[in-house]
């Protein structure tokens, strides 16, 4: 039996680029969009066309460039926004209008200054108008996880009746938890969607560090599209990380019997490409693509990895495009790792040499944070010259 597919909706070029330090030039956006298409992303949200001339041109250019994936443009539920998005996507092979409005009472009162009835009417008009420009229309209820659930379902039902093909449930401020979010998705699926051909999507922010966990819980509850970004970049604490969701479905297919079109061996190169364009890369301990994701310094871990990488690595570096794992020598390292590194450098050490050199290595590592090959060569040469027998 073929596993159900989860569509990957990448919003690196829209939500991701909105975060501080992540602005990209047009040529960079086009290059990254090409890479996302090669990666296997199903939908690329290329920008917010009415936000600026630059965003409009980016959506227009990416729509013309990427012919094998769906290209989406974001817009509010206003006529000017929808028209502008439609113009930007005019030449897209697979266009999608993505329109949104807030549904939580706090947003209605303080930001929109609209009543629930007014938002309901705006939703109907916007979705109906968007269908004039694209067969695929996605509707998002901003701040869905802090919205009254009955009202949220009423708005979603209105969107579907007006022609929406995708309902997106955003955890806009990263507020929800996995069990709670799964219950919300289940309610929307049972109350609004039923047996109709409507895709439920989720868009989770990471303010409590739960974006990926919430997204995976939503998949289990029936969501079939996940909105995410490369390296998890995005507003405030960021979005659900594309690479983490993709690899969770691979590594834990026993719990998530779903497939994506992601070519996982391109995850690390894509991460590196994005990092070269913006002002920062992923933190060193970032899952999947961080510098330390396949690095080992602790002696017990190093011994296990040298014996069999599966002892401490649940996926191979090569499976995500990382060239190899890395044994990092430091004060926590053990003899096995040290001997292995010396062998790579061309040294053969007998038992006496290992004992003496390891002792000097640890003494140096206590005083020096980074141990380089030159340090190892100096220790061996000065301590036990006979060991240098390449």
Quote the pLDDT of residue 182. 98
Per-residue pLDDT of 103-130, as tens digits, reads 999 999 999 999 999 999 999 999 999 9
What is the maximal distance between C-alpha atoms in the chain? 86
- Calculate mean pLDDT across residues 230-247: 97
> Coil, strand, or helix at residue 253?
coil
The pTM score is 0.87
* Whether the Cβ atoms of residue 305 and residue 327 lie closer than 8 Å to each other: yes
Which element (helix H / strand E) includes 32?
A: helix 26-39
Q: Is the pLDDT of residue 374 over 80?
A: no
Could you tell me which residue, 328 or 207, shows the higher pLDDT? 207
What domains does the chain contain, in order, with CATH numbers? 4-277 (3.20.20.70), 295-387 (1.10.238)
- Calculate mean pLDDT across residues 255-264: 97
As beta bridge partners, residue 252 has: none
Taking the C-alpha atoms of residue 185 and residue 141, their distance in angstroms, rounded to an integer, is 13
Give the residue among 169, 209, 164, 161 at the shortest CA–CA distance from 189.
169
State percent of the chain over pLDDT 70. 92
Quote the pLDDT of residue 368. 80
Quote the pLDDT of residue 291. 83
Quote the pLDDT of residue 303. 62
Give the CA radius of gyration of the chain: 25
Alpha helices in 222-266 (DSSP H): 242-251
- Calculate mean pLDDT across residues 222-249: 98
Taking the C-alpha atoms of residue 124 and residue 53, their distance in angstroms, rounded to an integer, is 27
Quote the pLDDT of residue 297. 57
Output the CA torsion 146→203→206→113 (10° steps).
-40
Mean pLDDT of the chain: 91
Q: Is the pLDDT of residue 101 over 70?
A: yes
Per-residue pLDDT of 63-72, as tens digits, reads 999 999 999 9
């Amino acid at each position: 039996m073929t596993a159900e597919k989860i569509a990957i909706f990448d919003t690196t070029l829209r939500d991701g680029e909105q975060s501080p330090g992540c602005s990209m030039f047009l040529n960079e956006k086009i290059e990254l969009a090409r890479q996302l298409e090669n990666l296997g992303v199903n939908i690329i949200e290329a920008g917010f066309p009415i936000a600026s001339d630059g965003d409009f041109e980016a959506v227009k250019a990416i729509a013309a460039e990427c012919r094998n994936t769906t290209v989406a443009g974001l817009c509010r539920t206003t006529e000017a926004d929808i028209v502008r998005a439609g113009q930007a996507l005019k030449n897209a092979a697979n266009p999608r209008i993505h329109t949104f409005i807030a549904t939580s009472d706090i947003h209605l009162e303080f930001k929109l200054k609209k009543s629930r009835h007014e938002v309901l009417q705006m939703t109907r008009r916007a979705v109906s108008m968007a269908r004039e420009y694209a067969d695929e229309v996605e509707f998002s209820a901003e701040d869905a996880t802090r919205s009254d659930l009955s009202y949220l379902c009423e708005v979603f039902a209105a969107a579907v009746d007006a022609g929406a093909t995708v309902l997106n449930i955003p955890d806009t401020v990263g507020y929800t938890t996995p069990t709670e979010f799964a219950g919300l998705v289940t309610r929307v699926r049972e109350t609004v969607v039923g047996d109709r051909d409507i895709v439920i999507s989720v868009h989770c922010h990471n303010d409590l560090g739960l974006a990926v966990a919430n997204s995976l819980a939503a998949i289990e509850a029936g969501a079939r599209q996940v909105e995410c970004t490369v390296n998890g970049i995005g507003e405030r604490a960021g979005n659900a990380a594309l690479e983490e969701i993709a690899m969770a479905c691979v590594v834990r297919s026993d719990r998530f019997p779903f497939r994506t079109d992601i070519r996982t061996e391109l995850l690390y190169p894509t991460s590196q490409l994005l990092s070269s364009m913006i002002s920062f890369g992923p933190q060193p301990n970032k899952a999947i693509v961080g510098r330390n994701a396949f690095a080992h310094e602790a002696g017990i871990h190093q011994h296990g990895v040298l014996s069999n990488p599966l002892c401490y690595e649940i996926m191979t570096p090569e499976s995500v495009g990382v060239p190899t794992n890395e044994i990092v020598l430091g004060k926590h390292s053990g003899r096995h790792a040290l001997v292995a590194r010396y062998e790579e450098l061309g040294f053969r050490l007998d038992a006496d040499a290992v004992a003496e050199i390891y002792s000097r290595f640890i003494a140096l590592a206590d005083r020096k944070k980074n141990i380089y090959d030159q340090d190892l060569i100096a220790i061996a040469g000065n301590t036990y010259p006979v060991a240098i027998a390449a």
